[in-house]
Amino acid sequence: MKWPALLLLLVAAPAAAASLMRDDFERGDAAGWRARGQGDVRVTEYAGNKSLRLTDRAEALTAFSARGHRNIAVAAKVAAADLEPGEACILEASGDKGLSWFELGRVSDGQDDGVTLYAVGAEVPALAESDPVYVRARAAGNDTTDSCWFDAVRVSGTPINTGDKALSPARFDAASAFATPVDLVAFAPGPAPPQQPFEGRLRLRLDAREAHVSIIRDPGGQAAKTPSLAQLPPLDIMLVADGAAIVPAVRGPIRGDHPDWEWIVEPGRAWTEAGDTSGWSRAPLPVALHERNANCTHNGVLTWRYRGTEISPVLYQFSSETCAYLQLDLWGRFAASLSTAAAPDRDRLIAAWRAEVAARMPARPIADIASRYPGLNPASFGSVAEVDPDAMTTWGFVADGVHWTGACRTRHGDYPFCDVADLPSYSLAKSLLAGLGLMRLEQLAPGSRNRLIADGVADCRDSRWAGVSLENALDMTTGNYDSLVSEADEDSAKMLRFFLTQTHAEKTGMACGLFAHKSPSGEKFVYHTLDTYLLGSAMQTLLRARLGPDADIHRDLVVRPLWEKLGLSPLTGHVMRTYDAAAQPLTGWGLTFHRDDLARIATFLQGGAMIDGAPAVDPAMLAAALQHNPADRGLSPGPGLRYNNGFWAWNAGPAVGCKTDVWVPFLSGYGGIIVALFPGGTSYYFVSDGRDFMWARAARAAHAIHSLCPA
């Protein structure tokens, strides 16, 4: 069989990697580590997990090269046992062959229960381009009973792109001139205004011979089996000019017939290269590839040159994503055509864009947060000890009306349009569509929460769903399951089949019969995304019985009464739906946001979900979800956790030093997405895809601003 040219490009493309070293010791040995000092060094196992154990005053060292990399971050998870005052388990790094050491974190007496793994680590700018860099795990005890366990040791760094940081005119004209990715600063708009605004209908079509892909992470082998991933769909979009701004007429995912991708197009800005007197201007446009029937989102940029009605080929590059199971770089050229016909609703589009920008919360870089709160360490947010920087999309913190923003790092420099980077929700939708949607429906029609799933989903009219209410489904306490083991059902092959179906009839038919009835509803928490899907289906039926056959739970319960009133981005007006005439919202996943949307939604929830001075959702249900009702905290999915009305909660009391429990409500999404709502009104979010969900450092920083402890 002759291999398609596209697949050859996929296989041959060089892979970029920001991970410099990782070791979880699961192979059962400490190969690559040198033991020294007094004490024992060996790999041990506890509860099926292997880690490196050090006793007494033993050390273990390993080395790697950071040449060609900056932003070097070193982290590990550490447990301890039998420590006394002054003793500790310490993680360190050196860039000068051990002459001096940077302490990255320690676990000390009082944290030594022998079980809990604490996250330690830091970013060390001085290690940039060092070769070698030593990492040292060290036990600072005084006898053989003092024990330290080190696990999940990881080092990451941002590659220093030594190639072009500018795209010369020649790069647009020959495919061979754009054979490797560049630092994304080359796609960023310059300060000079364009010689003319850019406006018109842009049509793009890809030649497979000019498409490149470099696979970064593909544990399931999806990319190698799917050459269409690199064959990006055509794009046909109307763009209007507001001065230098370029505003797309369509916002949110654009459905098409491509098997893998849907476009999202965001506003960009035209400019002129310094010293260019040829009459040509440039137009960079932020875009995203949204995975069909899922929520993975890959952010990228388009750019082209134009003069009058002339337009160059369009270069594209995707160097980041929020997707735990598929990470890749995509780059190449589109053939482009331009029609200068004006958009019929041009004035409305421009007015809406201006209103969108004006509504954003005041924002400042989180690196400057100590200027407002002296002594506060900005590294507490987006901590490299808690979230692998290689997997981080972005993060931010909201305090006293200011949105403190982190960067949007990619594998090739910072993303130049961070304000409009598209951020997937995954299961944040369980809180923001299913949760708030049912709270809104309960306010409109009291008693809706107690209606039965079987009332609104015909396929669920059998004995296993008898007595299962909408609120039971929201709480994931239907009583229908295979296993009480955390995530066992959600990760099962049968659940995967549910996710892969694309029509409403397929989803409800499968979801209603997938699990047996094993306990009374309301008693056992079992995480099931399909429960949330069935909830959305039942809510849609009830809402249409009340408002008419065209009513929609996303539009009529959330977007119009909440998001539009808050002035959120147009992106929030979209939700992924089934691919059929029903177009049923997926409910449990499929929303997309900008970082400002997350900051303002958090503030809205912190303020009691008020619109025009009145509650916009049922106050009692919201109070329970946000842990404001001590008599209704929900069920416990695990130690220190609660789940109620679609919202999670974590007991932060021990982590921040309070004498009582402090239940902090939070929203959580697949892969590593968190929005935490702290007592005192501050909020913290991060969007990542390395399956990291820790945020204790942010909680302690928030506690330093406004105490989380009850008065």
Peptide bond into 132 cis (omega under 30): yes
Q: pLDDT tens across 256-289, in order? A: 999 999 999 999 999 998 877 788 999 999 999 9
Mean pLDDT of 540-554: 97
Q: pLDDT tens across 109-155, in order? A: 999 999 999 999 999 999 999 999 999 999 999 999 999 999 999 99
Q: Which pLDDT does position 8 carry in this prediction?
A: 25
Burial class (CB in 10 A: 0-12, 13-18, 19+), 221: exposed
195/577 Cα distance (integer angstroms): 42
Would you say 664 and 678 are in contact if contact means Cβ atoms under 8 Å apart? yes
Q: Considering the entire predicted model, what is its pTM?
A: 0.92
**Confidence at 13, pLDDT banded by 50, 70, 90:** very low
DSSP string, 440-468: HHHHHSTTGGGSBHHHH-GGG-SGGGTT-
Please state the separation of Cα 496 from the chain's center in Å: 21
Q: Which pLDDT does position 341 carry in this prediction?
A: 83
Q: Does pLDDT of 327 surpass 50?
A: yes
Q: Which pLDDT does position 163 carry in this prediction?
A: 58
In degrees, rounded to 5, the angle at the alpha carbon of residue 439 between the alpha carbons of residues 437 and 445 is 100
CB-CB neighbours of 696 under 10 Å: 18
Q: pLDDT tens across 239-258, in order? A: 999 999 999 999 999 999 99
Query: Which residue stretches of 252-388 are H helix?
Result: 346-359
Both tokens assigned to 233 = 């769909």
Would you say 119 and 695 are in contact if contact means Cβ atoms under 8 Å apart? no
CA-nearest of 622, 620, 702, 604 to 662 is 702
Would you say 59 and 35 are in contact if contact means Cβ atoms under 8 Å apart? yes
Convert 270-301 to b/e letters by CB count within 10 Å (16 or more is b): bbbbeebeeebbbbbbbbbbbbbbbbbbbbbb
Q: Which pLDDT does position 277 carry in this prediction?
A: 75
437/687 Cα distance (integer angstroms): 23
Mean pLDDT of 404-411: 94
Task: Give 630's contacts (C-beta < 8 A, 6+ positions apart).
Answer: none
Mean pLDDT of 219-246: 91
* Chain position carrying tokens 């994931």: 476
Please state the separation of Cα 281 from the chain's center in Å: 34
Q: Does pLDDT of 425 surpass 90?
A: yes
| Average pLDDT of every residue of the chain | 93
**Confidence at 15, pLDDT banded by 50, 70, 90:** very low
Q: Which pLDDT does position 597 carry in this prediction?
A: 98
Q: Which pLDDT does position 221 carry in this prediction?
A: 86
**Confidence at 162, pLDDT banded by 50, 70, 90:** low
642-645: long-range contacts, CB 8 A cutoff, minimum separation 24: 643/475, 643/476, 643/525, 644/475, 645/435, 645/438, 645/439, 645/471, 645/474, 645/475, 645/621
Would you say 302 and 248 are in contact if contact means Cβ atoms under 8 Å apart? no
Mean pLDDT of 76-102: 96
Q: pLDDT tens across 359-368, in order? A: 999 999 999 9
Q: Which pLDDT does position 275 carry in this prediction?
A: 76
Q: pLDDT tens across 650-685, in order? A: 999 999 999 999 999 999 999 999 999 999 999 999
Range of weakest confidence among 113-127, 167-181, 243-257, 525-539: 167-181
